Structure 1
Amino acid sequence: MYYPYLRGKQFDLLALKELVKAGRLKKTIVPVIEPVKQSKTLLQTLEIFRQKGQPFYLIDNPQAGDFLTENGLETLQGLAQGHRAHIITANQGELHFHPEDLYIANSAQGLQDLPEAYRNGQFAAPFEMRILRQLIKAQGLILLQDPFTRLPRNSYYREYPDELFTRSHLTYEKQGFTGFGDFSLDSRIYYDQGYPDRDLCLHLVYPGDEQELRVHHFVSPEDPEDARLSQKEKFLQLIGEVDSWAKAGRLPETLGLRLLLKAYQEDRFPGMGVIRKGVIMHHLETMGMLLSD
């Protein structure tokens, strides 16, 4: 089972919603959503998940965002009913243990004071021995990794264009885990919004020769010395390379990739939000293909 951890931003939710509506999100993929924005899109996405019987978890104590008020947390308790996840923190106070819930263990400190009953639950945790030693009795232990290499500027990916993303889908059971997860093409560190960058970059995953999951960083060309390319020009040149990879069979066919290439065929820049949606959709669909194989 694969547990992608998503921060519940607008276009992340739209990616999930579109995949579920199209029947393209495998039941072996269980999104863990940390809601950071109060929006109709969140409510609509959760409603579609329930209608289609798509498994998911909704974190009831997010560590950032719009829900960090008493009313906001009460709202989440209702939304997460039957699909609740909880981040274990060092100073959280008393918890009511529910064996069907998922508990996120980010540090050993928060686990030290847990009653013994909690250790029989289901946990998602990084591969850190201080944490895993305390969760040895857990009924289900999910490996939650952060494999994406986040560089400070998109231009740096020109020197580092292709890399291994993960092999966890091949190894997690042998390591004693019941599932695995990651932060998709994001980071464990939350950021509300990105900073402007003169270069565009698309991070697209694809299966490697031994069925590991790799990621290629497609970067727009450098500006000429005597001019500065528009975002549309940069996108069209970048996506032209993506199109070549797709035609050569190096990228799997997905709805997300189709969404990106449609903009290329229509000679337009779709906007950064739509690009993010396409990248997330492509990632989840590709991982679903690997799990099926």
Structure 2
Amino acid sequence: LLELRNKNINFNIIINPSVGDLKNSSGTVLDVIQEQLNGFSNYQIAIIVNEKTNVPEMLNILRERDIEFAGITLIHEAVTNVSAIIDFTDDFSFIINVIYFQKTSRRYNREFDRNTWVGLEDFFITQLKNVDYLAVEDSQFSEEHLYYQQDGFKGFSDFLTIGDNYSETGFLPYAVAIHLSYADNDNKIRIKHFVSDSNDDASDIGGKFAEALEKLVTWCEENNIPDTIAILQFKELYRTGHFPGLGSIKKLSIMHHIELVLNLI
């Protein structure tokens, strides 16, 4: 948060996460906002909206707090009483309605002002195990950046290269997979999957990473993939033979995807 504030980058912060340590802890999230963002307002308060969300209560909690923010973002996972939500949010000057297509009806977005529409979809095709990506290698992802404006939307969003899946605990995998998004000849986004070869057990994770990383670097160079900050870091890891940990690999994949999309829009 502090880095985003220092760079004056607009962002959304969800105050009612549905998974993780902060689930059902909106008060804790708001405490952090008050502590770290006091005097800063270039962000939106985001609320996940589904049948269990008490929107009036959430908005009243916000009104009771001395918090400055630019507006409200509602992330819709479908509700029945849409008119009530519209009524309760009328007094906020800036509203974004993020419509999660796979969890809402086909015309759900039409209930809201079209100037507030942002699409959300999970494009990442998840395999059961990392080793299963060996049979896939390359998969389609998204073309939303090409058509979202024609469809009447103000923005689009996705779940990066991880998908809408959440796991409370990690485990050592038999295979290491690195997911790298790229633009094809039609500027549509696809995902390349680079998987280790020695996948019989969970030993030598660093060695498995090296196998997958070599495939990634070779493919990038053979296909003249433009360098991003993340690709440069992948190449440096390949040069030094360093294994940064599985979490860092996922972060680099996410970093690259964000930079790719920014370069395409």
Q: Fold-level match, TM-score > 0.5?
A: yes
1:272 is aligned, of 221, 236, 246, to 246
Instruction: After superposition, give the CA deviation of every residue in 1:88-108 in whole Å (9 maximum; x if it has no partner).
Output: 132433153998211111123
Partner of residue 260, structure 2: 286
Partner of residue 52, structure 1: 7
Aligned pairs for 1:189-204 (under 5 A) are: 189-204=165-180
Residue 77 (structure 2) pairs with residue 122 (structure 1) = no
Query: Is the Cα–Cα contact under 8 Å of residues 172 and 202 in structure 2 kept in the other structure?
Result: no
Instruction: After superposition, give the CA deviation of every residue in 1:19-78 in whole Å (9 maximum; x if it has no partner).
Output: xxxxxxxxxxxxxxxxxxxxxxxxxxx112122121111112212233333641441552
Partner of residue 75, structure 2: 104
Q: Percent of aligned positions with the same letter in both sequences? A: 24
Q: State how far apart, in whole Å, the 2-side matches of 1:131 and 1:70 are.
A: 27
SS, match of residue 114 in structure 1: helix
Q: State how far apart, in whole Å, the 2-side matches of 1:134 and 1:76 are.
A: 33
1:132 is aligned, of 109, 116, 120, to 109
Query: Is the Cα–Cα contact under 8 Å of residues 167 and 213 in structure 1 kept in the other structure?
Result: yes
**Equivalent position amino acid for 1:141 in 2:** W
**Closer, same or farther in 2 for the Cα pair 1:99/1:237, shift >3 Å?**
closer
Aligned length: 243
Q: State how far apart, in whole Å, the 2-side matches of 1:70 and 1:210 are.
A: 43
SS, match of residue 129 in structure 1: coil
Q: Which runs of 5+ in 1 are unaligned?
A: 1-45
Q: CA deviation at 1:199?
A: 0.5
SS, match of residue 116 in structure 1: helix
Query: Is the Cα–Cα contact under 8 Å of residues 174 and 203 in structure 2 kept in the other structure?
Result: no
**Closer, same or farther in 2 for the Cα pair 1:234/1:65, shift >3 Å?**
closer
Aligned pairs for 1:103-252 (under 5 A) are: 103-109=74-80, 111=82, 113-116=84-87, 118=89, 121-127=95-101, 128-135=105-112, 137-223=113-199, 230-252=204-226
Partner of residue 90, structure 1: 51
**Closer, same or farther in 2 for the Cα pair 1:99/1:273, shift >3 Å?**
closer
1:262 is aligned, of 230, 236, 241, to 236
Query: Is the Cα–Cα contact under 8 Å of residues 145 and 183 in structure 1 kept in the other structure?
Result: yes
Query: Is the Cα–Cα contact under 8 Å of residues 104 and 123 in structure 1 kept in the other structure?
Result: yes
SS, match of residue 96 in structure 1: helix
**Closer, same or farther in 2 for the Cα pair 1:110/1:85, shift >3 Å?**
farther
Bigger mean CA deviation after superposition, 273-282 or 176-185: 273-282
Q: CA deviation at 1:146?
A: 0.4
Q: State how far apart, in whole Å, the 1-side matches of 2:75 and 2:16 are.
A: 11
Q: State how far apart, in whole Å, the 1-side matches of 2:77 and 2:202 are.
A: 43
